[in-house]
Structures are given as structure tokens and as C-alpha cells.
Amino acid sequence: MIALTFCLSAMLGLLVTSSPEAPQNTAQESPADRGAASVRILALTPHDPISIDGNAGFTNASGVVWGSGTASDPYIIADWNIAASTTHGIQIQNTDTHFIVRNCLVHDGSSNYAGIQLSDCVNGTLENNNCSNNDYGVYLEGSNGNTLINNNCSSSYWTGMYLWSSSGNTLSNNNCSSTSNDYGVFLTSSSNNNTLINNTCCSNYWAGICLEESSNNTLTNNTCCSNIYYGIYLWSSSSDNTLGNNNCSSNYNEGIFCWLSSNNALINNTCCSNSYKGIDISGYGSNTLIRNNCSNNWYGILLGGNNNTTLANNTCNSNNWYGMYLSSASNNSLVNNTCCSNYLYDGINLFLSSNNTLTNNTCSNNQHGIYLAVSSDNTISNNNCSNNYYGINLDYSSNDNAIQMNRIENNSGYGIYLYSGSNNRIWNNTFYHNNGAGDTYDSAHIQAYDDGSGNPWNGANGYGNYWSDWTTPDFVPRYGIVDVPYDIAGSAGAQDHYPLTAPQVPTEPIIEFGMMPFVVTGFLAAIMLIIGARRRKAHPS
């Protein structure tokens, strides 16, 4: 009797400590129903690599611990410790049932193996897994509508999270840092309509996040700092993406680089203290850059070869070279940007760039506030160019530009300097104390310089510019125009024929001299002779 009792006790002990396998294709038991056995399964337990092909593959034998595969009761694969040295750690393919992989440690995958791979899967969730030290942390291939949240995919040999032809996925709060040879997160081959939010992608080799041939994705609040090349990299026709509130600072090359990609919106990103450029938009296509902070780089924002791009309300201060630099870029709009205290060169620089509009920008404390070289047919209006060396500099055959209604003050050199160029129209600007000028005209401190040819310093309606050292007299008739032209320095012998007596924005054409009665004309000529004699007496040659 004692022996029988001992045998029965031993058999019961084996039943309690074993992990029974449920029949395939049936609902799995919940942890509350499985008692002591479930506790052993839910511990971080060593497990062989898991491979599931098709919905029927979700079984206890394949690592499922509970669930029935519905949206309200998904299959759960959890709490396993898997070495992926000979294959993918967890591979799930050709499924559309609902499943969750959570709290697994998948490690040491090499030879192009991934910690977790999903192929042709939908309705999957990967959460709180540690997929570090694999060739790929997580690899999605042709998999749509999945959620990847709170996973650690750092120290991958190639890429932390790799999405190939995978759309509609959400990647949130993942750590994809310190990859050896590639990217933190890589979307390629028409991986569209994905959402990347609050991920950390730092100290990767190429870039924190890279999009290749992938469109309509949203990247928000990601931290992409201290990568070897780029914080975020868009290339090869990655279009219609939205990048908002990302921190792309302290990268060893550029914060955000868009190459051959169009219709992207970059809004409220911080791209500071990168070793080269804050934001680089190069190649064809239109993009929108709004309220980005691109300070303390070498270039704040570079726009190369782009058309119809809008740069508005960006801050590009304290860069070593340029606040904004446009090269071979046409038909772009620069509005309400702040480009101040850029150390060596310019607030805004246009090179080989035409038909651009620069409006309401603040360009102060630079070498040049705004600089144009071989750039024509641009409109520069309502900008503040103060406390630079030159306020606005037109260099090397810059022609047919319109410079109007700008405030140009306290520049240590000329307010406007025309090295060459023709048919640039300069009117209704406010010149105040440039080139050492005071409130009285002094030929040694003229506020502008013209070495070009045929540059009118008046508008088509006859109005000139306001010069703080040349505001009177205005006798005949009194319509806000100084009766004597303002002499511009330089070989062109240019003059502002209609200097304004006060800063203003005139809307009506003035009365041309040729329209005045002869008596008034004669009287005006006499006044001009008197003024001229007074000027010669005050400043003998």
C-alpha cells in the first residue's frame, strides 16, 4: 500500500511539472487556468528558434503560451530566451491571424539572421522584446498593419528594424541604436504609410532612420542624434513623407538629408550642432520646410537643385558658414526665416539660383546679410539686413533682381554692394547709418555702392529709397521726395534720383519732372544749383 501511494504521488508530480501541449489549431489556455505549470512557462526560459508558417502554426509546440488568434484574444508568444545563431530567432510568415510576441530575449543572430522576422504577416504586435546583437533586430518583409512597440534592437550588425515592401505599420518607442554598418531603422522598396514615433536611433553608422523609395510615411518625435552620417536620410524618390518634431542633432555629417525626393514636409525639427549641415535638400522636386531649428552647424539649411520649395519660419543662427545656402535652386520661397550671427559668411546665400522670392527674413550679424552670385530674376523684399558687414551683396553677374522695401541699417560696410550686374531695380528700401554714415551726407561714408551697369535705384513709379543722411530739402513740390539726387559710390556713377524724405511704402506714382509746368521746373533747377553749390562748398574735391 505504501509503495502504491508513492508511485501515485510520483506520477502526480510529473503531471504538475510537465508542460502539456494543447492540440493544434485550438484555443490555448490562459495563465489563470494553467496553475503552476503556466508560471514555469512565463519565466524567461531558454527556447529553440521559433518558426511559424501559416495560421495553423500557432501551437504550444511553436512557442504559443495562450490565446485563440482573435483580435480580442490574440496568440501570445512570450518570455522566451532564444539564441538565433543558426536561423532567425522568431520567424512568422504567411499569417493573418492576430498575435503578440512580447518579453522575449532574442540574441546572437548572424549570417543575415534577424532576431524576429515577419514575412507576409498582418495583425502582429511585437512589444517589449530585446532583439539586440543580431544582424537585424527586427525584419519585416511584405508585412502590413503590424505594431512594433518598446523593443530594443540596438547593437545590430546591419539594421535595428528593417522594413522591406511593408506598409501601414506602426513603430513606436523602440531603441534602434549603435548599429555597426547600416541604419537604426530602414524603410525600403515601397514601404509606405508607416508611422514612426518616439523611437531612439543614435550612434548608428549610416543614419538613424533611412527611407528609400518609400512614401507617405510619418516620422514624429524621433531622436536621431550622434549618428556617423545622417540623423534622418530620405533618398531615391522617397516622397510625400512628413517629418515633424524630430531631434536630429550632433550627427557627424548632417541632421536631415533629402536626396532626389519631393513633396516632403519637414516641420519643427531640431537639427543643431551637426558637423556639416542641419538640413540638406538636394536634387529635383518641391519640399516644405517650416519652423525647423538649424543652428550651430556649418550650413544651417542647404537647398540644391530644388524647385518650388518653401522655407518658412526656420531658425538658422550661429552656423559657421551659412544660415541658408541655395545652389542651382529656382522658384523657391524663403519667408520669415531668421538667419543671424552666422560666423564666416552669409545669412542667406544664393549661387546660380534664379526666380526665388526672399521675403520678411531677418539676416543680421553675418558677413553679408543676403548674398547673390550669378543669380538673377530674384525678388528680395521686406527683409531686415542689419549689423552685417554688407547688408545685401550682388556679386558676379547677378542681373534683373528686384530689391525693395528692405530695412538695411547699421551695417559696417555698404548697405547694398553691387560688384557687377545690370538691370537690378533697387527702390523703397530704408538705408540707416550704413558704412559709418551719420545723419548728414558725407562722401566718405556713402551708404551704397554700384560697380555694375544700368541698375535703376528707383521704382517704376518713380520712388527711390530712404537715406538717413539725405532727407531734405523737399520744396517743389512737397510730395516726399528730396529735391536733389543721392550719389551712389562706385564706377557706375549711379544716383537715386528720387530719394524719400521718410521711410514709407508708396502706392501712387509720383509726378514726373517732365510733367511739371515750366515755371516750376525752372524754379526747381535754381534750387538744385543752390544745393549743389552748398554740397561742393561743404565737401570740396
Look up residue 111 and give its DSSP letter: T
What count of Cα atoms within 13 Å lies in the side-chain half-sphere of residue 29? Answer: 16
Per the structure, how many domains does the chain have?
1
Torsion sign (Cα): 177, 246, 182, 168: positive
CA distance 401 to 389: 21
Query: Is the peptide bond preceding residue 20 cis, with omega within 30 degrees of 0?
Result: no
> Is residue 478 one of the residues assigned to a domain?
no
State the amino acid at position 146 in one-letter form.
Answer: N
Per-residue pLDDT of the chain (541 residues; tens, 9 = 90+): 334 343 334 433 333 333 333 334 444 444 434 333 333 344 689 999 999 999 999 999 999 999 999 999 999 999 999 999 889 999 999 999 999 999 999 999 888 899 999 999 999 999 999 999 999 999 999 999 999 999 999 999 999 999 999 999 999 999 999 999 999 999 999 999 999 999 999 999 999 999 999 999 999 999 999 999 999 999 999 999 999 999 999 999 999 999 999 999 999 999 999 999 999 999 888 999 999 999 999 999 999 998 899 999 999 999 999 999 999 999 999 999 999 999 999 999 999 999 999 999 999 999 999 999 999 999 999 999 999 999 999 998 999 999 999 999 999 999 999 999 999 999 999 999 999 999 999 999 999 999 999 999 999 888 999 999 999 998 866 678 999 999 999 999 999 999 999 997 555 555 543 333 333 344 444 444 444 544 444 444 4
CA distance 284 to 232: 18
Residue 167, burial from CB neighbour count under 10 angstroms (0-12, 13-18, 19+): buried
DSSP, collapsed to helix, strand or coil, labels residue 327 as: strand
Residue 369, burial from CB neighbour count under 10 angstroms (0-12, 13-18, 19+): buried
> Is residue 282 one of the residues assigned to a domain?
no
Q: DSSP labels for 122-177?
A: BSEEEES-B--SSSEEEEEES-BS-EEES-B--S-SSEEEEEES--S-EEES-B--
- Which domain, by its residues, includes 25? 12-126
> Is residue 58 one of the residues assigned to a domain?
yes
> Is residue 267 one of the residues assigned to a domain?
no
Q: DSSP labels for 3-40?
A: HHHHHHHHHHHHHHHS-PPPPTTSPBPPHHHHHHHHHH
How many helices (H) and strands (E) are present in the chain, helices listed first?
Answer: 3, 43
Sheet-wide strand order for 80-83: 45-46, 80-83, 105-107
pLDDT at 339: 98
pTM score: 0.87
> Is residue 269 one of the residues assigned to a domain?
no
Torsion sign (Cα): 493, 494, 498, 503: negative
> Is residue 310 one of the residues assigned to a domain?
no
| Residue among 247, 256, 165, 246 nearest 212 (CA) | 165
> Is residue 23 one of the residues assigned to a domain?
yes
Q: Which residues pair with 277 in a beta bridge?
A: 254, 299
State the amino acid at position 412 in one-letter form.
Answer: S
Cα 537-538-541 angle, rounded to 5 deg: 70
> Is residue 502 one of the residues assigned to a domain?
no
